[in-house]
Structure 1
């Protein structure tokens, strides 16, 4: 009986340092991730130039109908790298950079007729808004609580998203305008997640981030064949981008 107790105690002594080592989060890491991305974008139009010569009713009609709310929902996949420093028994400070390719795009099309009444003939307008997110990347700080091999953490930092934007307007009176912009948005990122070590150097995690990427402005241009000539009428598009990302990942720790 005594022999069994001594063997069990010795086993615990040897196992404890190994377990503690597995649960130590200090060090660098690299990994891969994949998940689901929701990109929300709102756009609004400001009129200028010869639009001032049109009636207030027509201007309000064009402004109201050219506004758009769009959402792109698709997969994302990428890589991350960072460094953690465990302070004391439970607290972990860290920094991380990540990059992700974003799938999906959307195009919002609609037509509406402005009919002020005689003697002015009705005019049908067609509007199109597009957004195509391409890639996102971010640098973030990390604050976490380690419970042995599990790390619960919050993150915050700055992110960038490269996207292609567009807005077109045309009418039955042969008014044709179009725009296209490749733009890199930027704004704050906040989020959090949970990570678990399955071995000393291998962990898996799931995390969520929200980023407000701010907004940008761009102008439409006349399309060949339009009955109007630049710069008679002008439209300025103001468009923003906000994103939600959920990702699962695997990390290799050094």
Structure 2
């Protein structure tokens, strides 16, 4: 959840992606690229206290779909223990929600993410 200075908030309910992954193994190293479709579901709202009277903020919710691409590297320390690190960029476009107290009628939020993940796995 992300809360603004005037009490507005945005909550990510769920999200995910469906991606393909292509790589080539060099001994115990596996560099790879990945890409596919991504989605999120979010909601928010709150009280806006811009100059003037305190007014209820508009409640909003939605589901957005977009795309994601990335690259990573996996390394097999043993035949069973593997560690990996990857970077992924996700672009879900933007959304606009009503903010009548701001005087412009709406606020646009760009839904983009840069993520670095580190993982460990054990193969049985």
**TM-score for both structures, normalised by structure 1:** 0.41
Question: Could you tell me how far apart the structure 1 residues matched to 2:62 and 2:37 are?
Answer: 17
Are positions 1:155 and 2:51 aligned together? no
SS for the counterpart of 1:146 is coil
Aligned to 2:45: 166
Structure number having the greater helix percentage: 1
- Give ranges in structure 2 of 5+ residues lacking alignment: none
What are the equivalent positions in structure 2 for 1:87-166 lying under 5 Å apart? 105-109=1-5, 129-166=8-45
Could you tell me which of 98, 109, 112 is aligned with 1:239?
A: 109
8 A Cα contact 1:177 1:221, kept in partner: no
- Give ranges in structure 1 of 5+ residues lacking alignment: 1-104, 110-126, 223-232
Question: Could you tell me how far apart the structure 1 residues matched to 2:94 and 2:54 are?
Answer: 27
- CA RMSD of the aligned region, Å? 3.0
SS for the counterpart of 2:25 is strand
Q: Kindly tell me: are residues 167 and 214 of structure 1, through their superposed partners in 2, closer, same or farther at Cα, counting changes over 3 Å?
A: farther
Q: Which consecutive aligned stretches of 4+ in structure 1 deviate over 6 angstroms post-superposition? A: none
**TM-score for both structures, normalised by structure 2:** 0.75
8 A Cα contact 2:8 2:57, kept in partner: no
Q: Kindly tell me: are residues 218 and 201 of structure 1, through their superposed partners in 2, closer, same or farther at Cα, counting changes over 3 Å?
A: same
Q: Kindly tell me: are residues 249 and 171 of structure 1, through their superposed partners in 2, closer, same or farther at Cα, counting changes over 3 Å?
A: closer
Q: Kindly tell me: are residues 210 and 173 of structure 1, through their superposed partners in 2, closer, same or farther at Cα, counting changes over 3 Å?
A: closer
